[in-house]
Amino acid sequence: MRSELADKPRIPAERASDASKDAMVRALRQRVTTLENERQQLLARIDQLQQRIEVLYGELYAKRGAMPSGLPSAAKPSRATTHGDR
């Protein structure tokens, strides 16, 4: 029985450890790639939203400019309706 164990090739513990480390590095690199892709998508979405904000501010400015001058209180939101106090 001992002769059977001696005949089997053994993998040194160090090599198994290296394989484990390599697997961990591969998994982490894959995760980094995934996170970088998600980051790029979020940055693109932020750019889209910033452009949309510019358009909406332009529309708001145009509407305020087109309002009759006799209604200044309707053109400006009162302090009670703003959300800056949160």
Residue 50 within a domain: yes
pTM equals 0.53
Residue 25 within a domain: yes
What is the distance between the alpha carbons of residues 32 and 30, in angstroms, rounded to a whole number? 5
Q: Give DSSP secondary structure letters for 6-36.
A: HHS----HHHHHHHHHHHHHHHHHHHHHHHH
What is the distance between the alpha carbons of residues 6 and 66, in angstroms, rounded to a whole number? 93
Total domains, the chain: 1
Residue 29 within a domain: yes
Residue 43 within a domain: yes
Question: Quick one: pLDDT at residue 66?
Answer: 78
Domain span at residue 40?
14-63
What is the distance between the alpha carbons of residues 53 and 60, in angstroms, rounded to a whole number? 10
Question: Quick one: pLDDT at residue 67?
Answer: 72
pLDDT block averages, 10 residues each, the chain of length 86? 62 73 96 98 98 96 78 50 48
Residue 73 within a domain: no
Question: Quick one: pLDDT at residue 8?
Answer: 65
Question: Quick one: pLDDT at residue 14?
Answer: 64
Residue 84 within a domain: no
Residue 45: both structure tokens together? 């979405």
Residue 39 within a domain: yes
Question: Quick one: pLDDT at residue 86?
Answer: 40
